[in-house]
Amino acid sequence: MSIIITLIIGLVVGLLARFLTPGPNPHGIIVTIVIGIVGAVIATYGGQALGLYQPGQAAGFVGSVIGAVVLLVILRLVQR
């Protein structure tokens, strides 16, 4: 059951990140879910590196959206 919840939250985070990032974004529900999940991972490790989160503590919803936006910006820069 937790995998389904993770996928749903990844979808919501990915959709918000795609909405907040102007310009062309990757399409498809699977890509959107992966963007949301990877954004959460980026936010978790980035927050731990900056001292915002303790080791073992996951990023929150807002942090996950910010991580997904950062991922989309990096993907756009790499695609050029």
pLDDT for position 22: 82
Give the count of domains, the chain: 1
pLDDT of amino acid 45:
86
C-alpha to C-alpha distance for 5 and 59, rounded to whole angstroms: 16
d(CA 15, CA 80): 22
% of the chain residues with pLDDT over 70: 99
Sign of CA dihedral 35, 57, 9, 12: negative
Per the prediction, the chain carries an average pLDDT of: 85
User: Degrees (nearest 5) of the Cα angle 16, 19, 22?
Assistant: 140
The angle formed by the CA atoms of residues 2, 62 and 78, to the nearest 5 degrees, is 95
pTM (predicted TM-score):
0.83
pLDDT of residue 1: 60
Q: What is the pLDDT of residues 25-48, one digit of tens each?
A: 777 888 888 888 888 888 888 888
Is the CB of residue 26 less than 8 Å from the CB of residue 3? no
Domain that holds residue 64: 2-79
